[in-house]
Amino acid sequence: MTGSEPKATLGLARDLGLTADEYDRIIQRLGREPRYTELGLFAALWSEHCAYKHSRVFLARLPTHGPRVLQGPGENAGAIDIGDGWAVVFKMESHNHPSFIEPFQGAATGVGGILRDIFTMGARPIAILDSLRFGNPDEPRTRRLIEGVVSGISWYGNCFGCPTVGGEIVFAPEYSGNPLVNVMCVGLVRADRIFRGRADGVGNPVFYVGNKTGRDGIHGATMASATFDEHAEERRPTVQVGDPFTEKLLLEACLEAMASGAVVGIQDMGAAGLACCTSEMPARSGTGMEVELDRVPQRESEMTPYEILLSESQERMLLVAARGREAEVKAVFSKWELDAVEIGHVTAGGDLVVRSHGGVVARVPVEALTEAPSYDKTRTPPPWLDAARAFDPLTLPEPVDYDETLAALLGSPTIACKEWAFRQYDQQVGTNTLVLPGSDAAVLRVKGTTRALAVATDGNGRQVLLDPRRGAAMAVCEAARNVSCAGARPAGVTDCLNFGSPERPEILWQFAEAVEGIAEACRALDLPVVGGNVSLYNETSGTAILPTPIIGVVGVLEDASRLATQWFKGVGHRIALLGPDAVSLGGSEYLWMLHRIVRGTLAPLDLGVERRVQAAVQAAIGAELLLSAHDCSEGGVAVALAEACVTGPEPIGATLDLPDAARTDLTLFGEGPSRVIVSVDPIRAREFEALMAESDIPWQWIGTTGGERLRIRRRATTVVDADLRGLHQTWRRGFERHVA
């Protein structure tokens, strides 16, 4: 077998994505030329996707600790203590490259992969959120991608039985050749029952459990570490094929095996499959591992060791059991009709030894595989940036008809109602979903406690393009603000950092700045980053996506009965705007929609004010003073008000006087951080005012709910006077008309 394999050469190493320098390092580390299979292991484990070669030095800047952090980055997922003996486990991951090549299976296996990351920790998944980015909605290709991605998510999540409760769908032409599919999953586990991807205990048996291994997905990790060209679709065979039914069985079997006490450690076979698990698990434990590939359950014949090790077939785990309890593990998996085969054992000495057909095909120190080179490469701001920022949107003419402009924004596919997608997702299985998709954050109760979790994702590529540091900080603030608007205290962050090729200095600069911005905001808001994912090389034919860090925030509501949603609840309620007046049209949805311009500067961000505004909203909801709370984001305060009017079960009008800015368009559609629209029952107005005074934040009353219209005045002149039914229809149809 080994004799028939090609000889490892520099040329082959290059074909597998390694550099000449990296190839030299491998030789140095091994003290000899690598064998063919060994080279495959290095190529996969040292790929950008697995090793974060270009990003690691920057990621070290993120705050990852906190009093409630039970597990930070470096494991399958992060975990945070939420009280009453429970922990929330969560993580976000990208499946951008596969979803572009094969949208249905790409998105489906993205869901499958992140679900496994959660339940390998011992947690039962309770919620999925999808953060999606597509190109021009009018292009036929975009429509095909949306249909494929949404049905892939629907197919996998629904069959598995985890509700999809949130996320965003955003459009910009920069994603046309490279859509983003970021999936976040949230699970619950007893805080003292968290499992980790460790191979402790020399002599303990190593079990392969779950689906059989095929040739699908070989080179998935290396594919995700390169840019695309016009031949991207030829890579379709590297996309894995999912089976949500097997995943559901794997979930139940894993949780049952874990409950038996026979499991020592467990890890999902995700990117780089068996190769990744057999090296990462012993590396975490300071042990080694010996595996026999002939024992690996296979569904294709004549697979080479290289193929078996690097296959990314789905729904598989590597499990280390306690010696002597093998029968218990086998019994559980047999009950669920899944393979559980002992393929090796934990060894001392730190080597990964792979046997096949009686011979050794790889013998490599696990540390050599998991300690990939880390680069701190040249980075420079893009040359066009200063000019882009210098642009003043107020030099453009004002729109003639603001009713029309508001309707156009409300009906733009990024802002409009996403029911077309969400009604294809099971949103309620598990009967925990207290707030369904369609508000700032979804809320899920924690059965057996009085608590609930609020979850949201956010990220604005245009803002990050113009100011990576502030834009990324704003994304953290907005995701956290969404969670605060449900009444929850943000507890932790997961991030998915989607950028172009790090080999280009200006992309790496964007990346480094964005990470710094995330770190600053997380420190200011006391939010640990407990896990995440970096997706680089999001480029097709040399054109990069908008730099898009997506931030997922999980928050805790101490009292699940005290929560808020974004829409107005009735007539005669007073409306207040919390937060600073400073807004900008730079990088705004308005500027893009009306003028197709992505330029200008962002509004200032004061992290102290942000923190106090969020605390004030949480306190007011906790005191049951708010009937609604809605974050102002894309489209500014006017769109936020219109959403509060039309996104509830029954449209409710409002009459408002807005604080003045330099121009009407800036007043209505200017975007800025730390702003929240709330509604208050007039009989509680005094109490609310007292609480706001204590909170030390800028705020003002701006109007009252009621009527059949949305009326907005500025400087005592009516600037918007729109019929509610019309706005409602525009919002309802704005996204759907592009896909249905």
Partner 1 sequence: MRFGVVVFPGTWSDCDFHYVISEVLHQPVKYVWHRDRDLSGFDCVVLPGGFSYGDYLRAGAVAGRSPVVESLPDFVGRGGYVLGSCNGFQILCEARLLPGVLMRNECLQYRCQSTQLRVENLETPFTRGIRAGQILTMPISHGEGKYYADPDTLAALKRNRQVVFRYATAEGQATKAANPNGSLENIAGIVNEDGTVLGLMPHPERAAERAMGGTDGLLIFQSLLGTLVEDGSFLKR
Answer whether 444's CB lies under 8 Å from 186's CB: yes
Q: How far is the CB of 252 from partner 1 (least distance, A)?
A: 8
* For partner 1, the closer CB: 565 or 584: 565
> 271 is written with which tokens?
């990117």
Is the CB of 214 or the CB of 528 nearer to partner 1? 214
Q: Give how far the C-alpha of residue 509 lies from the chain's centroid of Cα atoms, to the nearest Å.
A: 22
Tell me: does residue 739 bind partner 1 (CB under 8 A): no
Residue 445 as a binder of partner 1 (CB under 8 A): the answer is yes
In whole angstroms, give the CA distance from residue 5 to residue 306.
Answer: 9
Cα-based distances in Å from 290 to 208, 345, 351, 364, 609: 13, 6, 8, 11, 55
Instruction: Return the residue of 193, 248, 363, 523 that touches partner 1, per CB under 8 A.
Output: 248
In the complex, the smallest distance separating the C-beta of residue 139 from partner 1, rounded to whole angstroms, is 22
Q: Which stretch binds partner 1 (CB under 8 A): 102-110, 416-424, 565-573, 676-684?
A: 416-424
Contacts with partner 1, 340-379, as mask; x by CB under 8 A: ----------------------------------------
275, 310 in Cβ contact below 8 A? yes
How is residue 339 annotated by DSSP?
Answer: E
CB 281, min distance to partner 1, A: 28
* E strands in 118-172: 124-134, 164-171
* H or E segment to which residue 44 belongs: helix 36-45
Q: Is 475 exposed, middle or buried (0-12, 13-18, 19+ CB in 10 A)?
A: buried
- Choose, by CB under 8 A, the member of 2, 136, 260, 424 that binds partner 1: 424
Cα 550 from Cα 552, distance rounded (Å):
7
Site stretch for partner 1 (CB under 8 A), options 59-67, 201-209, 239-247, 617-625? 239-247
Q: Out of 431, 541, 700, 718, which residue is the one contacting partner 1 (CB under 8 A)? A: 431
Nearer of residues 336 and 537 to partner 1, judged by Cβ: 336
From 81, 130, 168, 243, residue interacting with partner 1 (rule: CB under 8 A): 243
| Closest CB 334 distance from partner 1, rounded Å | 12
Of 405, 393, 422, 729, the residue nearest 588 (C-alpha): 393
423 binds partner 1 (CB under 8 A): yes
SS3 string of 405-441? HHHHHHCCCCCCCCHHHHCCCCCCCCCCEEECECECC
CB of 436 to partner 1, least distance (A): 8
Tokens read off for 56 = 């690691």
Task: Using CB under 8 A, pick the residue from 144, 190, 299, 447 that binds partner 1.
Answer: 447
Does residue 345 carry a catalytic annotation?
Answer: no
Rg (CA), the chain: 26
Give me the phi and psi of 503, to 5 degrees please: -80, -10
Q: How far is the CB of 118 from partner 1 (least distance, A)?
A: 16
- Please report, for residues 419, 438, 736, the alpha-carbon distance to residue 423 in angstroms, rounded to integers and kept in the order given: 6, 11, 12
Minimal distance, residue 155 CB to partner 1, in Å: 8
**Which position among 159, 322, 615, 691 is part of the footprint of partner 1 (CB under 8 A)?**
159
Three-state DSSP state, 632: coil
Task: Please say which residue, 174 or 243, places its beta carbon nearer to partner 1.
Answer: 243
Cβ proximity to partner 1, 102 vs 426, nearer residue: 426
Q: Work out how close the CB of 247 gets to partner 1 at its nearest, in angstroms, rounded to a whole number.
A: 10
Nearest distance, CB of residue 434 and partner 1, angstroms: 6
650 binds partner 1 (CB under 8 A): no
Distance CA 617, CA 633 (A): 16
Q: Is 735 an interacting residue with respect to partner 1 (CB under 8 A)?
A: no
- 557's enclosing H/E stretch is strand 548-557
Give 46 or 160: the residue with its C-beta nearer to partner 1.
160
Alpha carbon separation from 120 to 77, 276, 327, 436, 530 (Å, rounded): 9, 15, 20, 27, 16
* Residue number, 363 or 562, with CB nearest to partner 1: 562
Stretch that binds partner 1, among 87-95, 193-201, 287-295, 431-439 (CB under 8 A): 431-439
- Spatial CA neighbour of 602 closest among 456, 461, 727, 503: 461
Q: Which is nearer to partner 1, 49 or 116 (by Cβ)? A: 116
Q: With binding defined as CB under 8 A, does residue 405 bind partner 1?
A: no
**Alpha-carbon gap, residue 354 to 36, rounded angstroms:** 12
**Count of Cβ atoms closer than 10 Å to residue 663 Cβ:** 15
| Shortest distance, position 212 Cβ to partner 1, whole Å | 15
| 249 lines the binding site for partner 1 (CB under 8 A) | yes
Active site residue 49: yes
- Least distance in Å: CB of 410 to partner 1? 22
* Residue 245 host element (H or E): helix 244-260
Among 195, 208, 336, 592, binds partner 1 (CB under 8 A): 336
Asked if residue 426 binds partner 1 (CB under 8 A), the reply is yes
Q: Which stretch binds partner 1 (CB under 8 A): 158-166, 211-219, 524-532, 606-614?
A: 158-166
Measured CA to CA, the distance from residue 213 to residue 720 in angstroms comes to 61
374 vs 431 by CB, closer to partner 1: 431
The interface with partner 1 within residues 502-561 (CB under 8 A) comprises 560-561
Closer Cβ to partner 1, 285 or 433, answer by number: 433
Locate all alpha helices (DSSP H) within 371-504, ordered by sequence. 385-390, 402-410, 419-422, 461-466, 468-485
d(CA 194, CA 124): 11
For the CB of residue 337, give the shortest distance to partner 1 in the complex, in Å: 6
Single out the segment in contact with partner 1 by CB under 8 A; choices: 197-205, 384-392, 394-402, 427-435. 427-435
**Which of these ranges, 109-117, 138-146, 156-164, 511-519, lies near partner 1 under the rule CB under 8 A?**
156-164
Report the alpha-carbon distance of residue 676 to residue 633 in Å, rounded: 9
CA atoms within 13 A on the CB side of 289: 32
> Is the Cβ of residue 187 or residue 600 nearer to partner 1 in the bound state?
187
- The H or E element that residue 332 is part of is helix 326-335
**Residue from 430, 490, 587, 672 that binds partner 1 (CB under 8 A)?**
430
CB-based contacts of 308, cutoff 8 Å, min separation 6: 213, 274, 293, 296, 298, 356
Catalytic-labelled residue, pool 54, 95, 97, 630: 95
Per CB under 8 A, 331 contacts partner 1: no
The neighbouring-strand residues paired with 169 are 132
**Is 314 an interacting residue with respect to partner 1 (CB under 8 A)?**
no
Which of 105, 109, 158, 538 touches partner 1 (CB under 8 A)?
158
Structure tokens, 726:
């019309």
Range list of H helices, 647-720: 664-669, 685-695
**Is the dihedral angle over the CA atoms 669, 670, 672, 677 positive or is it negative?**
negative
Structure tokens at 272: 């780089």
**Interaction of residue 425 with partner 1, rule CB under 8 A:** yes
> Minimum Å distance from CB 74 to partner 1?
31
| Cβ(346)–Cβ(204) below 8 Å | yes
Site size toward partner 1 (CB under 8 A) is: 31
Active site residues: 49, 95
Residues near partner 1, by CB under 8 A: 151, 154-155, 158-161, 243-246, 248-249, 336-337, 422-431, 433-434, 445, 447, 560-561
